Chain A
Amino acid sequence: MGAWRYAAASVVGTSHVAAGVPCQDHAMVTSVPVHTPPAALLAVASDGAGSAAFAADGAEEACRAFMEYAGLGMPLIGHRPDMAADFEARSLDDVRANIERVAGERGAAIGAFACTLLGAVVGDDAALFFQVGDGAIVYRIEDGGWRVAIAPERGGYVNETDFVTRRDAAAKLRMARVLARVSEIALVTDGIEMMSIDQKTGTAHGPFFEHVIGALRGEAAGHSAAHSDWLAGFLDSAMVNRRTDDDKTIVVASRLAG
Chain B
Amino acid sequence: MSDFSQKKYVPGQFSEEQSIFADNPDPRCAVVLLLDRSGSMSGAPIAALNKGLKAFEKFVQEDDLTARRAEIAIVSFGPLTIDTEFHGGHGFTAPEMVPDGDTPMGKAIMVGLDMLERRRQDYKANGIAHYKPMVLLITDGAPTDDWRPAAARIRAEEKARRVAFFAVGVTGADFTTLTQISVREPMKLDGLKFTELFRWLKDSMTRVSQSSPEDDRVALPSPSGWAAL
Contacts and interface: CB of A to CB of B under 8 A. Distances in A.
Interface string A148-192: 000000000111111101111000000000000000000000100
Interface centre among B27, B130, B206, B214 (most CB of A within 10 A): B214
Interface in B181-215: 206-215
A61 interface: no
A106 interface: no
Contact of A157 (B17, B132, B217): B132
Interface size class of B (residues with CB under 8 A): 20 to 34
B127 A51 contact: no
Contact of B210 (A16, A49, A167, A199): A49
Interface in B112-133: 127, 129-132
B22 A198 contact: yes
Q: How large is the interface on A (under 10, 10 to 19, 20 to 34, 35 or more residues)?
A: 35 or more
B219 interface: yes
Contacts of B130: 157-158
Contacts of A47: 209
A15 B22 contact: no
Contacts of B228: none
A51 B24 CA distance: 26
B6 interface: no
B25 interface: yes
B212 A208 contact: no
B22 A196 contact: yes
A160 B65 contact: no
Nearest to A163: B212
Contact of A159 (B19, B131, B215): B131
Contacts of A242: 64-65
B229 interface: no
Given A114-B212, A160-B209, A208 B20 contact: yes
B22 A195 contact: yes
B185 to A, nearest CB: 18
B14 interface: no
A148 B25 CA distance: 20
Contacts of B17: 239
B208 A160 contact: no
B22 A160 contact: no
A12 B21 CA distance: 20
Contacts of A158: 27, 129-131
A52 B212 CA distance: 10
A205 interface: yes
Interface in A10-35: 13, 15-16
B208 A159 contact: yes
Nearest to B213: A160
A208 B17 CA distance: 10
Given A50-B219, A51-B217, A239-B17, A199 B25 contact: yes
B182 to A, nearest CB: 20
Interface string B128-140: 0111100000000
Interface string B4-30: 000000000000010111101101000
A71 interface: no
Contacts of A161: 209, 212
Contacts of A78: none
A253 B177 CA distance: 59
A152 to B, nearest CB: 10
Contacts of B214: 111, 166-168
Nearest to B131: A159
A245 B209 contact: no
Contacts of A111: 211-212, 214-215
A243 interface: yes
Interface string B24-64: 11010000000000000000000000000000000000011
Given A207-B19, A242-B64, A245-B65, A194 B24 contact: yes
Contact of A199 (B20, B24, B131): B24
25 contacts: A13-B208, A47-B209, A49-B210, A51-B217, A51-B219, A52-B211, A114-B212, A157-B131, A157-B132, A158-B131, A159-B132, A159-B209, A160-B210, A160-B212, A161-B212, A166-B212, A166-B214, A168-B214, A198-B22, A198-B24, A199-B22, A199-B24, A207-B19, A239-B20, A242-B64
